[in-house]
Amino acid sequence: MSTAAPSHMISSPAHCAWCGMAFDDDSERLHGRRRCRSCGAATTDPWPDQAELDRAYADWYRPPSGRFAGPGDWLLHRTRGLLARRLDRIAPPGAVLDVGAGDGALLDALQRRGREALGLERTSARPDVRTLELDELDGRFAAVVFWHSLEHLRAPGAALARAYKLLLPAGVIVIAIPNSASLQARAFGDAWLALDLPRHLVHLPASALLGRLEAVGLRVERLSHVRAGQVLFGWLHGLVHLLPGRPELYDAIRRPSARRTGLRGGARAATLAAAATLLPAAAALAALEVAMRRGGSIYVEARKQPCLSPASA
């Protein structure tokens, strides 16, 4: 048995993961991704196979002990509580589906409010989480949530169309996703935190997402450049990463078991101190991109129209 090359296949994507347009020699090649001339989305290149994704989602990504040190996990649960309250208010009666449910914090928050809630995830021990693909799931839902999960799917456009079919009349789709047309994406380029290669398979500008939502028959009711989170952190991580030694702030705030690079005591403390110093600058840049409607992540609510058939566009 050979111990040389890894057994997985490296392949370049033939089509845009978002709109399906075939790539040609003129399509723009960027570090780790390729941009579609038709829709403006980028597709991760090389396209990872299952073995590579399994490695990329290995235990450090989301260990059972929680991901973040200090108040990070508390903050995560608090923001899921706010999202659950919002969903409860905007969705018609019925169950909520959380695609990419993670540790189930949103499911818990919804169930505390008396909402039936079901999650999908790669693996889970929870009885209210299925390890199915979206197209294997049946049922009717008042809301379908893609909270920083759509960009992880191999067929995100088809997933939106499937989510539309699963929606009850007047049901809502809620999406939070990095915005590749943001100021921070432009500023940091190949080093932008939210590229998250190879886990993020598609990299969408806000316009490509909004266009597709309208095309499947949804009406976009709300677009926020603040609510999806990560706007401030994206700037802070990027600014810290410009320093000598290219420190990884995202690793520094994670618990030891959840760190990717094995960052140790002194280097971690220096990274956190640099972040504290750069925080005012990051806050000013975050405020600027929000004011310009070019947030690092966007939050979208889109509703199925009760009396319209799906648009053919």
- 3-class DSSP assignment, residue 177: strand
- Of the pair 5, 14, the CB lying nearest Zn ion is at 14
Please name the residue that has the structure tokens 């398979």: 201
What is the bridge-based pairing of β-strands 117-120 and 96-99?
Answer: parallel
- Of the pair 21, 272, the CB lying nearest Zn ion is at 21
DSSP 45-70: SSBP-HHHHHHHTSGGGS-TT-SBST
- Of the pair 20, 256, the CB lying nearest Zn ion is at 20
How many C-beta neighbours within 10 Å does residue 135 have? 12
Q: Cβ 22 to Zn ion, closest distance in Å? A: 10
Side-chain-facing half-sphere of 178: CA atoms under 13 Å: 25
Q: What is the DSSP letter of 190?
A: G
Edge-to-edge strand ranges of the sheet holding 33-35: 28-30, 33-35, 42-44, 202-203
Q: Cβ 33 to Zn ion, closest distance in Å? A: 12
The token pair that represents 63 in the structure block: 């260990």
Q: Cβ 204 to Zn ion, closest distance in Å? A: 10
Q: Cβ 43 to Zn ion, closest distance in Å? A: 8
CA 298 to chain centre: 10
- Of the pair 41, 143, the CB lying nearest Zn ion is at 41
Q: Cβ 265 to Zn ion, closest distance in Å? A: 45
- Of the pair 42, 176, the CB lying nearest Zn ion is at 42
Q: Cβ 12 to Zn ion, closest distance in Å? A: 15
Element (H, E) at 298: strand 297-304
- Of the pair 14, 125, the CB lying nearest Zn ion is at 14
**Binding positions for Zn ion, rule: CB under 5 A:** 16, 18-19, 21, 36, 38-39, 41
Question: Which one, of 21, 19, 8, lies nearest residue 47 by Cα?
Answer: 8
